[in-house]
């Protein structure tokens, strides 16, 4: 049931109003009086609001009254926001005209505007007065109400083990913790999970296990529930210990009585359903619970916070049941023993119903019980197609169980949780983005202790996560949570409590948007990309999101004139252009604007007039070159997110197209996210603009050659930016001026970062030595370092003792001849203790890597890359290494391969002089699974060791020598053969496990494939860049298991072989760069398994075959750079449209590289074929 959560909204309006009223001497008198009257009205309403919010659950009239009140409160917020925004605009204009001393207050606002706003405030005040006067009809009481006593059913220790499924492993873990000794007198085992997940059942199973019964002298079960009272809980423990009623005593006597009963006994106590998050209350209770060593307490809770407060042993995070276990539980409740065999149709429907349970045992049990006496097929279909929340409460035990968690939330968290209903089910939302959306909607309450809104938002997020409203948390390499999901039933709850205020609707002709909707998520797909007119009737919308796959929304230019109240506008994936974005500047209330994954080159200057904007996201806008020059006026901007986090060494390339920054970025005192700063020479563009910015996350400073003074670099104040985690420092070029070269080392010294820094990039530095701060003592938390093109430095800094360093890249350091002992540091026990990835690249003069064999070095190194180091003659002994890449190096390095016996992956390439892989180099590599041999022009022999690599799964060879055979490999399931001229079909003989084959050939395909029966297991085949090929071999029907076929760059191919029509298993087909392919065969429509079809740059294809309209399973069709087909396949009006209209997802006429980029970076699941991976490889 939807709730009107009004108190946080009313507080937001009230605080905004009070802030304005404090400026009494600066307000026009009429406006001040109306504001003061409005404050009085809001105070009257707030007095009875808590009572009204409680009564709305049972009283529809009160709920309707709160709904009217909420609508008015939203309108009041819009009016006050408009007033503040206009005042800020005038202030900014006055500063631009150097009139700060002349115009400083609200009186500078035009008189007409004062009068207009005065009338608006009066009208909203009168409207609120009228609504407030109705409160007397409901007999609402003021003040805080006493907490309600819980009426929930109490749990007990009894369990029916025949009705439990899928908890055997969980039970064993808990039993082991119970009966195994530990060092504590009383240890606490917390069991955590969302409501209905089976925490109590698991505790019951462990409690009643015979091993546990015999291990403890005394066992007690107490259901604590949500009403935690120390005296009541103590009394309940005594009663559980004695088995008799305990008389009412004061807490001191109860404590003594409890100690008498526990004595020196080894006890087990279960505290079921704990909610209390007050650590002091728990400490008091724990002080009463003293028994013999080995006593244990099991706590079940929905809150991870409770578990962390109470637990002393590992937290048991309960997972969802598998679908099979859920089905077993549902079946036991829904059918009598052996009855299910008589109802095969109901079995099929029941398995679909079970998917709704999302692994929740309570849901499976409840829905199974609901269907116990229903045997009509229509009844089961109705349940399958219904939302769980639409079932009647008396039939639905799921509702109260899940809703109880929601009822325990404070009002501000209830609103934040309800807001999450705007995302689709199973949506993986970003933590930072969600917090920014909450901020934009005013859902985060300002803190009295000056906490940043982002930090408060993180507390909100963590609270919801700890209380099991969110799940499936993903973490970054530092352990920080980055993404989460909601359980389907939690999502249903969010939809239920949000009501009409939040709407997620699919775009179609029958689109209906609730009148009171304030937040809207539009679900679009390939065939519905036009925004319907119905959206413009929702003039009160505050959030508008577009959600879909490869969305190419036709965004109208008048969106801003209809949706003037928007706080959040997410135009991700909407193919926005600069022209379409210009009107967005009229959305004066806008706080959040996401333009990510779009193709514009500039952000229009009108965006800089959005004075309330807090977040501007421009992630993955790879064509973006310029930001509005007046962004320095956006005083409320907190997050400017450009591009995205990639590998550290790729950062300079990512920002290559950016050449200048907006001026006066330093004026944005609220700014926390600024991934790029380009140093300029003019006023407002110098590095001192960074001085007062409290930046977080990532910062890449480019064009440091424009810093001419070492004192200027210190003014960037990097040393005090404690929230920066990644820092990149880069020079474009350096003048030949000797003074500049001399100063560059001092300039870099002045750019010392804070010790909290995790990742450091230094690029194109032309000094001869590194700064003193680049050492383990001053930057002890470094996790990743990249030194790129520091060509004049002759030695490396001492990094060997950095305790957390996991990735190190050294590239383009021409002057370094030896990596010596100084690089490792002075520790005599271990060097590079945490390093996992080490890359050495473009080191033309490096001759030696010195390692003291008596001191352990690189103990955890997993990957080593050595590229273009032609003079390097040795590699250190690395027993733990699993991945090795050697490319364009001295051939002598091959002699060290025998030492790397743990290798799993080996890539070797571009060794011009090597004639053979010597016997014995790979003979002990039993773990080898991936081998790539690339471009060995003189290589004549492959080592016989390859025949013994029984674990080899992926084999790739790119070799322009004429080669008639390959080693006798039997294990690979993925093979890539490039330019091995002369290979015949015998080369594939014996590949009994081969599933995927990619071929780049210049000879006839028949010579390689011969009789196709040699590879019966083949599922994927890619034929690439064979310009002379005119026909594909007819024997392709022998690939009886083929599921994917990619034909790329066969420029003279004129037709597809008829044998393909017999490949009944084919699911994905890609045809690209076949310029002479004239037509596609009619039998394409007979490929009943074909689901994905991609056609790119086949310029001679004139039309689609008629048979395409019969391809009933085809889900995805992409036609790109095929002019005739693009014209004929235009939606509705194209001559071939009727042949493809039934296909669910169609993409026509978009640049393939854009499509690949978009698909690669999507944050949520898409329905795209595996062949896109191959397309991306050769694009």
Give long-range contacts, CB 8 A cutoff, 24+ apart: 782-785: 782/757, 782/758, 783/477, 783/478, 783/758, 783/759, 783/807, 784/648, 784/758, 784/759, 784/760, 784/808, 785/759, 785/760, 785/761, 785/809
Task: For 161-317, give the CATH class.
Answer: alpha beta
Average pLDDT of the residues in 513-534: 76
2-30 pLDDT per residue, tens: 666 788 888 889 988 888 887 656 677 78
pLDDT tens by residue, 589-599? 999 999 998 88
Give me the half-sphere count of Cα atoms (radius 13 Å) on the Cβ side of residue 1063: 28
CA separation for the pair 520, 505 (Å, rounded): 8
Query: Judging by beta carbons within 10 Å of its beta carbon (0-12, 13-18, 19+), is residue 1105 exposed, middle or buried?
Result: middle
613-647 pLDDT, tens digit each: 999 999 988 888 889 988 988 999 999 998 766 67
Question: Rounded distance, CA 964 to CA 509, Å?
Answer: 62
| Contact (CB, 8 A) for 865 and 840 | yes
Domain residue ranges of the chain, discontinuous segments joined by +: 7-138, 161-317, 323-400, 410-490, 920-1017, 1019-1179
Nearest CA among 831, 7, 925 for reference residue 410: 7
Q: Which has the closest alpha carbon to 655: 733, 757, 730?
A: 730
Dist. CA 947–CA 192, nearest whole Å: 51
Alpha-carbon distances, residue 93 vs 97, 247, 637, 679 (angstroms) = 6, 75, 17, 26
pLDDT (tens digit, 9 = 90+) per residue, 120-173? 999 999 999 999 888 888 888 876 555 555 555 677 778 878 788 889 999 999
Q: What is the pLDDT of residue 80?
A: 92
Nearest alpha carbon to residue 891 among 930, 917, 865: 917
Contact call for residues 595 and 617 (beta carbons, < 8 A): yes
Cα–Cα–Cα angle for 124, 127, 128, rounded to 5 degrees: 85
d(CA 60, CA 65): 9
Contacts of 274 (CB under 8 A, 6+ apart): 224, 228, 299, 300, 301, 303, 306, 310
Q: Can you state the angle between helices 411-419 and 488-498, rounded to 10 degrees?
A: 110
pLDDT digits (tens, 9 = 90+) for 82-113: 988 988 888 777 666 554 444 445 555 677 77
The fold adopted by the segment(s) 1019-1179 is: 3.80.10
pLDDT digits (tens, 9 = 90+) for 967-1016: 666 667 777 776 555 555 555 666 777 788 887 755 555 555 554 455 67
Per-residue pLDDT band for 1160 (boundaries 50, 70, 90) equals very low
Query: For residue 489, how many other CB atoms are within 10 A of its CB?
Result: 25
Q: Which of 1155, 1128, 1122 is nearest to 1141 (CA)?
A: 1128
CA dist 313 and 191 (Å) reads 10
Strands of the sheet containing 218-223, edge to edge, are 218-223, 267-274, 295-301, 186-192, 316-317
Identify the helix (H) or strand (E) that includes residue 750.
Answer: none
Distant-in-sequence, close-in-space partners of 1001: CB < 8 Å, separation ≥ 6? 977, 979, 980, 981, 983, 1008, 1023, 1026
How high is the pLDDT of residue 101? Answer: 44
* Side-chain half-sphere exposure of 689, counting CA atoms within 13 A: 25
Number of C-beta neighbours around residue 111 at 10 A: 9
Q: Select from 1051, 1062, 1045, 1053 the least CA-distant residue to 1080.
A: 1053
Q: Give the other-Cβ count within 10 Å of 24's Cβ.
A: 11
Confidence of residue 416 (pLDDT cuts 50, 70, 90): very high
**Which is more confident, 422 or 956?**
422
Q: How confident is the model at residue 526 (pLDDT cuts 50, 70, 90)?
A: low
Determine contact, residues 840/866, Cβ cutoff 8 Å: yes
Angle, CA of 393, 399 and 402, to the nearest 5°: 165
Cα(668)–Cα(774) distance, rounded to whole angstroms? 30
Whole-prediction pTM value? Answer: 0.83
Per-residue tokens: 985? 């079909």
Token reading at 913: 């002089």
């Amino acid at each position: 049931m939807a709730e009107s959560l009004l108190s946080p909204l009313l507080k937001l309006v009230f605080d905004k109003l009070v802030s304005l009223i404090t400026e009494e001497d600066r307000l026009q008198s009429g406006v001040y009086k109306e504001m003061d009257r409005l404050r009085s009205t809001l105070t009257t309403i707030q007095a009875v609001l808590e009572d009204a919010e409680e009564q709305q659950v049972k009283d529809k009239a009160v709920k309707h009254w709160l709904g009217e009140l909420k609508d008015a409160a939203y309108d009041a917020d819009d009016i006050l926001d408009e007033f503040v925004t206009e005042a800020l605009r005038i202030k900014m204009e006055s500063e631009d005209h150097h009139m700060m001393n002349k115009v400083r207050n609200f009186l500078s606002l035009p008189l007409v505007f004062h009068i207009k706003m005065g009338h608006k405030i009066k009208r909203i005040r009168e409207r609120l007065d009228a609504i407030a006067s109705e409160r007397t009809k409901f007999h609402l009481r003021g003040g805080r109400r006493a907490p309600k006593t819980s009426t929930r059913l109490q749990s007990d220790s009894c369990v029916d083990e025949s009705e439990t499924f899928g908890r055997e492993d969980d039970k064993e873990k808990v039993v082991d913790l119970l009966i195994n000794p530990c060092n504590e007198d009383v240890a606490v085992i917390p069991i955590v999970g969302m409501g209905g997940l089976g925490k109590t059942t698991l505790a019951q199973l462990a409690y009643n296990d015979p091993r546990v019964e015999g291990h403890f002298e005394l066992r007690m079960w107490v259901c604590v529930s949500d009403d935690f009272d120390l005296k009541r809980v103590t009394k309940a423990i005594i009663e559980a210990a004695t088995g008799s009623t305990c008389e009412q005593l004061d807490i001191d006597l109860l404590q003594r009585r409890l100690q008498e009963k526990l004595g020196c006994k080894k006890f087990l106590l279960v505290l079921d359903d704990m909610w209390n998050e007050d650590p002091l209350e728990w400490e008091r209770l724990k002080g009463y619970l003293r028994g013999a060593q080995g006593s244990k307490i099991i706590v079940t809770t929905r809150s991870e916070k409770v578990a962390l407060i109470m637990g002393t042993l590992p937290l048991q995070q309960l997972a969802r049941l598998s679908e099979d276990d859920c089905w077993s539980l549902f079946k036991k409740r829904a059918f009598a023993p052996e009855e299910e065999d008589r109802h095969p149709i109901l079995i099929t429907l029941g398995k679909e119903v079970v998917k709704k349970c999302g692994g929740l045992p309570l849901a499976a049990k409840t829905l199974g019980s609901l269907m116990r006496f229903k045997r009509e097929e229509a009844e089961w279909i109705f349940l399958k197609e219904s939302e769980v929340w639409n079932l009647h409460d008396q039939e639905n035990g799921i509702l109260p169980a899940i809703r109880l968690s929601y009822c325990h939330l404070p009002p501000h968290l209830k609103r934040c949780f309800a807001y999450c209903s705007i995302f689709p089910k199973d949506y993986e939302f970003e933590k930072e983005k969600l917090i920014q959306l909450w901020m934009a909607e005013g859902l985060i309450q300002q803190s009295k202790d000056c906490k940043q809104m982002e930090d408060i938002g993180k507390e909100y997020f963590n609270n919801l996560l700890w209380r099991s409203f969110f799940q499936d948390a993903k973490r970054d390499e530092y352990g920080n949570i980055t993404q989460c999901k909601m359980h389907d039933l939690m999502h249903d709850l969010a939809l239920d409590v949000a009501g009409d205020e939040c709407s997620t609707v699919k775009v179609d002709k029958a689109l209906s948007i609730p009148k009171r909707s304030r937040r809207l998520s539009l679900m679009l797909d390939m065939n519905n990309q036009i925004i319907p007119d119905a959206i413009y009737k929702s003039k009160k919308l505050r959030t508008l999101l577009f959600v879909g796959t490869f969305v190419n929304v036709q965004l109208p230019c008048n969106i801003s004139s209809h949706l003037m109240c928007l706080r959040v506008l997410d135009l991700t994936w909407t193919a926005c252009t600069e022209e379409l974005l210009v009107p967005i500047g009229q959305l004066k209330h806008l706080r959040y604007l996401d333009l990510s994954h779009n193709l514009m080159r500039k952000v229009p200057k009108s965006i800089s007039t959005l004075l309330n904007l807090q977040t501007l996201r421009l992630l993955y806008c790879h064509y973006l070159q310029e930001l509005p020059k007046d962004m320095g006026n956006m005083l409320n901007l907190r997050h400017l997110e450009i591009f995205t986090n990639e590998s550290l060494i790729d950062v300079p390339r990512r920002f290559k197209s950016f050449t200048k920054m907006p001026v006066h970025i330093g004026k944005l005192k609220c700014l926390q996210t600024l991934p790029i700063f380009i140093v300029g020479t003019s006023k407002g563009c110098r590095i001192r603009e960074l001085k007062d910015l409290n930046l977080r996350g990532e910062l890449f400073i480019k064009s440091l050659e424009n810093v001419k003074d070492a004192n200027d670099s210190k003014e960037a104040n990097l040393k005090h930016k404690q929230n920066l985690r990644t820092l990149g420092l880069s020079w474009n070029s350096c003048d030949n001026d000797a003074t500049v070269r001399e100063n560059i080392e001092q300039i870099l010294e002045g750019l010392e970062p804070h010790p909290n820094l995790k990742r450091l990039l230094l690029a194109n530095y032309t000094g001869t030595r590194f700064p003193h701060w680049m050492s383990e003592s001053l930057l002890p938390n470094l996790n990743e370092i990249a030194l790129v093109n520091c060509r004049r430095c002759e030695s490396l800094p001492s990094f060997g003792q950095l305790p957390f360093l996991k990735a190190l890249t050294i590239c383009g350091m021409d002057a370094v001849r030896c990596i010596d002992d100084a690089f490792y540091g002075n520790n005599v026990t271990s060097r590079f203790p945490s390093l996992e990835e080490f890359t050495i690249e473009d080191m033309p003069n490096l001759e030696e890597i010195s390692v003291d064999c008596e001191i352990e070095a690189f103990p955890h190194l997993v990957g080593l890359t050595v590229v273009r180091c032609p003079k390097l003659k040795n590699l250190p002994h690395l027993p733990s290494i699993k991945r090795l890449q050697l490319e364009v190096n001295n051939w002598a390095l091959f002699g060290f391969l025998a030492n790397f016996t743990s290798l799993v992956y080996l890539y070797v390439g571009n060794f011009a002089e090597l004639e053979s892989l010597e016997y014995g180099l790979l003979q002990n590599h039993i773990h080898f699974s991936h081998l790539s041999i690339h471009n060995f022009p003189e290589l004549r022999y492959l080592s016989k060791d390859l025949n013994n690599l029984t674990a080899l799964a992926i084999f790739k060879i790119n070799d322009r020598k004429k080669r008639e055979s390959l080693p006798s490999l039997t294990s690979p399931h993925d093979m890539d053969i490039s330019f091995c001229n002369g290979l015949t079909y015998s080369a594939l003989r014996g590949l009994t496990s081969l599933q995927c084959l990619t071929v780049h050939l210049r000879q006839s395909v028949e010579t390689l494939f011969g009789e196709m029966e040699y590879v019966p297991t083949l599922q994927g085949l890619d034929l690439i860049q064979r310009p002379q090929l005119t026909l594909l071999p007819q024997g392709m029907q022998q690939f009886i298991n083929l599921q994917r076929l990619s034909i790329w760059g066969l420029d003279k191919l004129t037709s597809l072989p008829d044998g393909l029509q017999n490949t009944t298993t084919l699911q994905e087909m890609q045809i690209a760069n076949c310029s002479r392919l004239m037509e596609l065969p009619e039998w394409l429509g007979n490929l009943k398994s074909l689901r994905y079809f991609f056609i790119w740059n086949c310029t001679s294809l004139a039309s689609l075959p008629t048979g395409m309209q019969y391809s009933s399973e085809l889900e995805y069709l992409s036609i790109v750079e095929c002019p005739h087909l693009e014209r004929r396949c235009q939606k509705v009006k194209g001559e071939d449209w009727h042949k493809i209209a039934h296909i669910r997802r169609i993409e026509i006429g978009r640049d393939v590289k854009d499509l690949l980029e978009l698909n690669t970076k999507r944050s949520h699941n898409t329905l795209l074929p595996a062949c896109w991976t191959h397309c991306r490889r050769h694009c």
